[in-house]
Structure 1
């Protein structure tokens, strides 16, 4: 009986110690909302961290002014393309650089470039997609370079693959241009968008440790901006089809490829949601800083509020449905709503691609699709950093 009593007492003390020992936390507002906004029980991630037993809605919140931003200056970053370098191209205002994303009930960890270098030592990060992925690729390199400007680097620019290496840490940060994700082949001189084939592109993605995909904008392009002459689906060629149907076919090809080819115990897979454009001032006219606004030109402050101000993009409904059906869902970095609020963040006419005549006609020439650097893509990378390490 004495032996049994001692065993029971030992078990009780063990349980008591487990109850009393506090879990490791990250400051006063640890991120718990690192899961998707939809269920993804199959994700292989660290356990959720708790803060005051609340759940952080990571992608729902508001923009607040913070004069400690931006995290780098454009002249200090060697990689920013002229099309994104708004300050170099004469943008007269700078308040758009001073905003921080504030989730509703938690704080985002501030991006720590040295921590990124140490934790990602010897690894490869690859962004795959269209020019919004290029935007984000350049942003991440600038954010890291700002804290380690003397580290040895090497860059190769190419099409479809560009790579920036932090040699002292063995880290590669790459961008692979694939606007539709699925393959485009040239058949008898015509560009054929192959909705059920991704093998040509996919072979270049196999060895990355972090993959971040995006697509969306190119699926709606028409006329001279359209990137294909025919679509092929199940052996049939189409001059056109419902673009949402085509997007879904392409995304399901991508999702199946990820499920069948990527070892999720070794590779983290992210899908970045649709980046909004700001060509329709009716979405923000109540808060516009320009009474005659016809697009994002002249906008210098974010929209307020915590709800989506316009019609939620139909493309996002497709993205959400496809990711839900994956065997092991990609982590959806849902930047759509928080980016929609940033009507002030686009290059507008402060892009290196415009001549003086075009700059004088912002109604037709303003770029309200891409984003200035420094700027909004830095927040996308702060969210990626949070999802990777917290």
Structure 2
């Protein structure tokens, strides 16, 4: 009897042990399954968040008042040329200095010049283009100088390129003037704009960052154009459709990028088309003849004047380049700033200047976006 009781008790213990093990296995499996789902969901959310950050569009948004602006005082910047120094040359209002660009889907990081210089220590950055490139170059020079006002600098502008070096960081910021990017050659018949020649490109090699721009002069005609003939392949013409010429010249530049740029060594940007404000009807004020007396941006995120004709050409040509080129698509956000031009408050530009931009001012935002894109700040 005692033997049977002992056997039954042992069998009961074994059954209980199997039941506990089974329950533990189920519980363990549920835990692992739940944890796996949690990891999967977190990974999906993480990828979604990362995708949102990567796809953030800095170029769609609106202008908002911000009393912490401007980012520097033009009177304290030794690199501002008279044509952009609106406060020095009598502009009476200052409201235009107080606007910050706010993208719709993300925050544009505030510019940190010391961080810029630390991250890009020992590097060389060159702006290549016309006076709009000069506008942006001077803006970046002032923004960096304001961030490290006591840093040692050297500056030469006796010939192209202009070179500003922040000696304590070994960072050089240069401006190389090239109105069309392609060449203008003087010969027996006069000055010839050569749409298929870019010999000047030899001067752009060996830099860590290149920021290109051209458009401003392609539509100039008569005495204001700096060439007498245009050469398209084997044809030398007195003139041609300017948008077609722009497309051909930009295509020559695109081929130069494909052939000469090593993306591992050089980052390439193209400064999008900078607009002008000579017709108030473009922003919904038909009685305004130009940018004179404009003191505030266009409200909202749309511009009634529509895109600039060259924008489509820029995007089409950039799409043919096999090397990575970042488009600083600044046209719309600049179109909204009818208030940001020197107008009559320019030291070197006669008449009404609704093409260039006051400093401090709009080009500072272009450089904020450059800063964000250069260092992948979202």
Q: Same fold (TM over 0.5)?
A: yes
* Displacement of 1:236: 1.5
In structure 2, the residue matched to 1:274 is 273
1:188 shift after superposition: 1.4
1:262 maps to 261
Deviates more, 1:326-335 or 1:212-221: 326-335
SS of 2:263's partner is: coil
Which one of 275, 293, 296 corresponds to residue 288 of structure 2? Answer: 293
Q: Note if 1:374 corresponds to 2:343.
A: no
Tell me the residue number matched to 2:327. Answer: 332
Q: Greater share of helix residues, 1 or 2?
A: 2
Corresponding residue of 2:240: 241
User: Which residues of 2 match residues 61-72 of structure 1 at below 5 A?
Assistant: 61-72=61-72
Q: Is the 8 A contact 1:128 1:175 kept in 2?
A: yes
CA RMSD of superposed structures (Å) = 2.6
| Aligned pairs (5 A) from 1:1-390 | 50-51=52-53, 55-188=55-188, 190-198=190-198, 200-286=199-285, 292-353=287-348, 365-390=351-376
Match of 2:4 in 1: none
Contact 1:82 1:351 in 2 (8 A): yes
The match for 2:3 is none
Three-state SS of the structure 1 residue aligned to 2:249 is helix
The answer to whether the 8 Å contact 1:159/1:177 transfers is no
SS state at 1:218 partner: coil
Bigger Rg, structure 1 or 2 = 2
Equivalent position of 1:43 in the other structure: none
- What whole-Å deviation, never above 9, does each CA across 1:288-328 have from its counterpart, x for those lacking one? 8xxx5211000000001212320311111111110111112
Cα pair distance change 1:24/1:131, threshold 3 Å: farther
Secondary structure of 1:385's match?
helix
Q: TM-score, normalised by structure 1?
A: 0.83
Q: Distance in 2 between matches of 1:137 and 1:80?
A: 10
Distance 1:81 1:23, change over 3 A: farther
Post-superposition CA distance 1:264-284 (Å, at most 9, x none): 111110111110000011112
Q: Is the 8 A contact 2:263 2:324 kept in 1?
A: no
Contact 2:276 2:355 in 1 (8 A): yes
Q: Deviations over 1:193-240 (max 9, x none)?
A: 110011x21111111111111100100001111011111111221110
Compared CA separation, residues 180 and 15, structure 1 to 2 (3 A): farther
Q: Please, what TM-score do these two structures have when normalized by structure 2? A: 0.86
- Displacement after TM superposition at 1:79 (Å): 0.5
- Displacement after TM superposition at 1:18 (Å): 8.3
In the superposition, relative to structure 1, how do residues 14 and 144 fare at CA in structure 2: closer, same or farther (>3 Å)?
A: farther
Is the CA contact 1:297–1:348 (under 8 Å) kept in the aligned structure 2? yes
Following superposition, the deviation at residue 353 of structure 1 comes to: 2.4
Greater alpha carbon shift after TM alignment, 78-87 vs 200-209: 200-209
Cα distance change, pair 125–18 in 1 and its aligned pair in 2 (3 A): farther
CA distance in 1, matches of 2:190, 2:244: 22
Kept after mapping to 2: 8 A contact 1:160/1:178: no
**For residues 183 and 262 of structure 1, what CA distance do their matches in structure 2 show?**
19
Q: Which runs of 5 or more residues in structure 1 are unaligned?
A: 26-31, 33-47, 359-364
Q: Which runs of 5 or more residues in structure 2 are unaligned?
A: 1-24, 26-30
Which secondary structure does the structure 2 equivalent of 1:237 belong to? strand
Following TM superposition, by how much is the alpha carbon of 1:329 offset from its aligned partner in structure 2, in angstroms? 4.2
What CA deviation, in whole Å up to 9, does each residue of 1:144-201 have, x standing for no partner? 1001011110011044311100011010100010010001111116111110011x21
